[in-house]
Amino acid sequence: MTKFRKIGILSSGGDAPGMNAAIRAVVRKALDESVEVMGILGGYAGLISNQIIPMSPRSVSNIIERGGTVLYSNRCPEFKTEEGMAKAIETCRAHEIDALVALGGDGTFRGATDLTNHGVPTIGIPCTIDNDITATDYTIGFDSAMNTTMKMIDCLRDTCESHARCNVVEVMGRDCGQIALNTALASGAVAAVIPEIPFDEAEMLARIKHLASVGKRGFLVIVSEGVRTPDGQKYGEVLKVKIHDVAGVETRFARFAHVVRGGVPTLRDRLIATQMGVEAVELLLQGKSNLVICERNGVIRPLDINYALIADRYYKGKLQEGDLDHFSKEEVLSMNVLAEKRRADLAHLYEMVKATSK
């Protein structure tokens, strides 16, 4: 039974390669089911300022292979206010939009659950290069960003080897070390420095010094942008100086920044974006909402957005008073299992970097 006749789609927060593939999948699947689709330009800001365009099968032609988002994205503080929400709801009513699909990260999902509570049922699709949403093993954009990061690190490896240098590389990920850790492993770095695991600086400096003394020429150290010194400095830049001064190896610093948020999405991102987009429409057709589409142990499945948001706070140690009150004992237990698994997976990879960088 088709519950919704017209849906809207928007992308919000930081863009991610693969967002276009998800937009395409949602639009094509909905139209195939005779559900109209409206594109909202510029995320929640477009909903507030009535930037709405009708989508057709052709309006998503030739975008599956493109980075960025054809619907544009934005960070929109006004959406968090009652006035902003009222304008957004008014736009949905004016265009007879029955339900929404929102692509983005946890901020976007907070907005999605607010929309559902205000009468516009919404489903979220996790899109962020950071892979920092606890409820899902995978977020669209992660693989593309890692591959771009890895290729750039490979370029640095060439020049480090030629000049017998070290390169400290700061990579994106906000407070999540997933990009840093995985790319460090895949590019043979001597260390990954991530916010989640304490870093033994003295051990690494001694290791670099020793390896240089026995003939190793090139060194790569990958530092997550979220790691800072106690006085708030970006740790990568500080470490660059220490490697030179303490380990005696000439060292350069590189920050890849937003470069890795663009570019052609990988097969993995296009595939999962398509699967998640189709799943979101199928759920809306069943009249379901306030869900986030997750990938868990290789299976695409929806989870309640509120559960996903609190599971995220649980993992990140950011629980607020009363957060767990609405969840059963089993649900809280499952949040703990999620958090423990995430920690264990990270620790396992971390040990692997050390073990393979002797």
- Residue 232 CB, shortest distance to ligand F6P, in Å, is 16
- Residue 40 CB, shortest distance to ligand F6P, in Å, is 19
- Can you tell me which of 14, 42, 43, 277 binds ligand F6P, judged by CB under 6 A? 14
Beta bridge partners of 255: 170
Q: How far is residue 129's CA from residue 146's CA, in Å, rounded to a whole number?
A: 8
130 lies in the binding site for ligand F6P (CB under 6 A): yes
Q: How far is residue 276's CA from residue 289's CA, in Å, rounded to a whole number?
A: 14
**Closer of 6 and 174 to ligand F6P (Cβ):** 174
- Can you tell me which of 12, 69, 131, 266 binds ligand ADP, judged by CB under 6 A? 12
- Can you tell me which of 27, 129, 189, 220 binds ligand F6P, judged by CB under 6 A? 129
Contacted entry of ligand ADP, ligand F6P, none for residue 173, CB cut-off 5 to 8 Å set by kind: ligand F6P
Catalytic annotation present for 269: no
**Token code pair at residue 67:** 């980075």
Residue whose C-alpha is closest to residue 191's, from 342, 356, 347: 356
Looking at 15, 114, 130, 312, which residue is catalytic?
A: 130
CB-based contact 1:29 (threshold 8 Å): no
**Closer of 135 and 220 to ligand ADP (Cβ):** 135
118 lies in the binding site for ligand ADP (CB under 6 A): no
The residue assigned the tokens 């971390």 is: 350
Binding map of ligand ADP across residues 95-114, x = CB under 6 A, - = no contact: ---------xxxxx-xx--x
Residue whose C-alpha is closest to residue 266's, from 179, 133, 140, 155: 140
44 lies in the binding site for ligand ADP (CB under 6 A): yes
DSSP state letters, 244-292: IIII---EEEEE-GGGGGSSPPPHHHHHHHHHHHHHHHHHHHTT--SEE
Binding segment (CB under 6 A) for ligand F6P, from list 39-47, 91-99, 122-130, 332-340:
122-130
Contacted entry of ligand ADP, ligand F6P, none for residue 172, CB cut-off 5 to 8 Å set by kind: ligand F6P
- Residue 16 CB, shortest distance to ligand F6P, in Å, is 7
13 lies in the binding site for ligand ADP (CB under 6 A): yes
**Closer of 13 and 218 to ligand F6P (Cβ):** 13
How far is the first Cα of the chain from the last one, in angstroms, to the nearest whole number? Answer: 60
Q: What angle do CA 295, 182, 70 make, to 5 degrees?
A: 55
173 lies in the binding site for ligand F6P (CB under 6 A): yes
139 lies in the binding site for ligand ADP (CB under 6 A): no
87 lies in the binding site for ligand ADP (CB under 6 A): no
CA distances (Å), 322 to each of 68, 183, 327, 329, 355, in order? 38, 38, 10, 14, 42
- Residue 75 CB, shortest distance to ligand ADP, in Å, is 4
Buried b (16+ CB within 10 A) or exposed e, 315-344: beeeeeeeebeebeeeeeeebeebbeebee
- 11 CB burial (10 A radius; 0-12, 13-18, 19+): buried
Counting Cα atoms < 13 Å in the Cβ hemisphere of 198 gives 4
68 lies in the binding site for ligand ADP (CB under 6 A): no
The binding site for ligand F6P (CB under 6 A) comprises: 14, 128-130, 172-174, 225, 261
Give me the active site residues, please. 130
